[in-house]
Amino acid sequence: MPDTALMTGASSGIGAEFARYRASKGGDVVLTARSEARLKALAAELEAAHGIKAHVFATDLGTGEGVYALVDEITQAGIQIDILINNAGFGGQGRHIDRDLDDELGMIDLNTKALVALSHHFGGQMALRGAGGILNVGSTAGFMPGPLQAVYFATKAFVKSYSQALDHELRPRGVTVTLLAPGYVGTAFADRAGLHGTNLVKGGGKTPASVAKHGYDAMMQGKLVTVNEGPLGFLVNWVIPLLPRRTVLKMILNMQKKNK
C-alpha cells in the first residue's frame, strides 16, 4: 500500500479536500500551493485529526523554478512520493484576445507544464520502484473547445490526452494514471476565473469534498478516466462528440457568457 501522497493546489477547494480524504485513510501527505499559512493550518488540522505526517512546501508552480524547487525540497527531505495528485489549476473567462496574455500563458504553465514536469519526475521514480498512482485533475472542459475560456479548455484537453497516453506507457510498470474530469464544482475557482454571472455557475456545482472522494477512489481502483457526475459523463463521452461542431461551440459560449 503506497504511503505518501503529494497533492498540488492543496490550500483550497478540491485540493484541500483531497488532503482531508487521503489523511482520513491514514496516509501521509505532502501539501503544496503558494499560500503557506493556509497549507500549514491544514497540515496541523490533519496531523491532529488523523495522526499522520503532513509536510508543507509552499511554491509557485506557475514557474519552472518553483516546480524544480518543490522537487528539490522533497528530495532533500528524503520523502518518497507514492501517489501524485496534480490538482493545481485555474481558468479565466473572456475573449482570448481581450484577456491578459501573461494570465493566459501562466494558465498553460500551471495547468499543463507543471503537471507534466511533476508526472515526469515522480512517475519516473514510481516506475523504477514498480508501483504508484498519479491522479491528474482535468475537467469536462477537456472534452470540447470552450469559447470564452479558449485557453482553459485547451489546457484540460491536453491533460486528458497526456494522462491516458502516460497511463498506457506506465501501467505495465505498475503505475497507473487516472484522469478526473469534474463538472462545475463550488470552489474559489469561479472567483479566480471570473465566471460569476454565467449560466455555468448558476446551479452552485458539486461540493469539493464529493469530487475529491470520487477522484481519489477512482485512482485507487486504477481507473483510466472518470467523471464525477454520471449523466454529465454520458453527455461528454457519447453525445457531444456526435453533435455538429458549431452547435457545441454555441452551447459552450452560451454557458460561459455573462448574463446582463
Q: Which residue has 478540491 as its cell numbers?
A: 14
DSSP E strands in the chain: the ranges are 4-8, 28-32, 54-56, 83-86, 132-137, 175-180, 225-226
Cell reading at 223:
481507473
| 175/180 with CB nearer ligand NAP | 180
Identified binder of ligand NAP from the candidate list 37, 48, 49, 188, rule CB under 6 A = 188
Q: One-letter amino acid identity for 65?
A: E
Q: Does 199 bind ligand NAP (CB under 6 A)?
A: no
| 52/185 with CB nearer ligand NAP | 185
Q: Does 123 bind ligand NAP (CB under 6 A)?
A: no
Distance CA 104, CA 148 (A): 12
Identified binder of ligand NAP from the candidate list 31, 42, 185, 219, rule CB under 6 A = 185
217 burial level (CB within 10 Å; 0-12, 13-18, 19+): middle
Q: Which stretch binds ligand NAP (CB under 6 A): 22-30, 43-51, 178-186, 245-253?
A: 178-186
Our answer to whether residue 152 is catalytic in this structure is: yes
Distance CA 52, CA 29 (A): 8
Collapsing DSSP to helix, strand or coil, 208 comes out as: helix
From the list 21, 68, 152, 216, the catalytic residue is 152
CB of 232 to ligand NAP, least distance (A): 11
Distance CA 155, CA 12 (A): 21
Q: Which stretch binds ligand NAP (CB under 6 A): 5-13, 97-105, 163-171, 244-252?
A: 5-13
| 120/171 with CB nearer ligand NAP | 120
Q: Does 132 bind ligand NAP (CB under 6 A)?
A: no
CB of 109 to ligand NAP, least distance (A): 8
Q: How many residues does the chain have?
A: 260
Q: Does 136 bind ligand NAP (CB under 6 A)?
A: no
Contact 140, 232 (CB under 8 A): yes
Q: Which residue has 477512482 as its cell numbers?
A: 218
Distance CA 208, CA 196 (A): 18
Q: Does 184 bind ligand NAP (CB under 6 A)?
A: yes
Q: Which stretch binds ligand NAP (CB under 6 A): 20-28, 48-56, 167-175, 186-194?
A: 186-194
Distance CA 26, CA 2 (A): 11
Q: Between residue 221 and residue 260, which ones bind ligand NAP under the rule CB under 6 A?
A: none
Known catalytic residues are 152
Applying CB under 6 A, the residues found at the interface with ligand NAP are 9-15, 33-35, 60-62, 87-90, 110, 137, 139, 182, 184-185, 187-189, 192, 205, 208
